[in-house]
Amino acid sequence: MPAHVKQAALAEKPVRKESAAKTMRPKYVKTMSTVKFGGVSVKMRTPTPTEIKKRVAESRAAAGRLINAIATPGVKLSLKKTTPIFVADSKNPKLVIRKLGGEQTLGEFQNGIFVAVR
């Protein structure tokens, strides 16, 4: 076979592809990500799609619990009887009412100390 015919025949042959095992890439490659919070940068491993789905599900569950807690009116404080509670006076915004040991006292704060006005 003449040389020019051999070259033409070689050119028409399909190029042999590498084996599939060598060319396959993993579905997820571990990479690093940088997350910035204001002036602070944190470098961490990028989460896998499975990890992201799991964290999103956990966040939604936590948000559901938070909504239920917020929807419940009122606040329950478990305080000792010797702990004072201060409430703004609705008639005079400069005064406060101190609730302590079952008694209510009208007063104000002077230099950070409660002083009764009556």
pLDDT in tens, 50-108: 999 999 999 999 998 888 878 777 777 788 889 999 999 999 989 999 999 889 999 99
Q: What is the pLDDT of residues 34-47, one digit of tens each?
A: 889 889 999 988 88
Q: Which among 90, 85, 92 is positioned nearest to 114, based on CA atoms? A: 85
Per DSSP, the residues of 7-58 read HHHHHHSPPPPPPHHHH---S----EEEEEETTEEEEEEPPPHHHHHHHHHH
- Which residue in this structure is represented by tokens 């590498």? 18
Q: Which two tokens stand for residue 79?
A: 């305080």
User: Which region among 4-8, 20-24, 51-55, 110-114 has the lowest average model confidence (pLDDT)?
Assistant: 4-8
Determine the Cα–Cα distance for residues 104 and 88; give it in Å rounded to an integer.
12
Cβ-Cβ contacts under 8 Å for 94 (sequence gap 6 or more)? 108
Under DSSP, is residue 107 helix (H, G, I), strand (E, B) or coil? strand
- pLDDT at residue 71 in the model: 77
Determine the Cα–Cα distance for residues 17 and 23; give it in Å rounded to an integer.
9
- Who has greater pLDDT, 49 or 11? 49
- pLDDT at residue 84 in the model: 92
Give the helix/strand (H/E) hosting 70: helix 49-71
- pLDDT at residue 115 in the model: 94
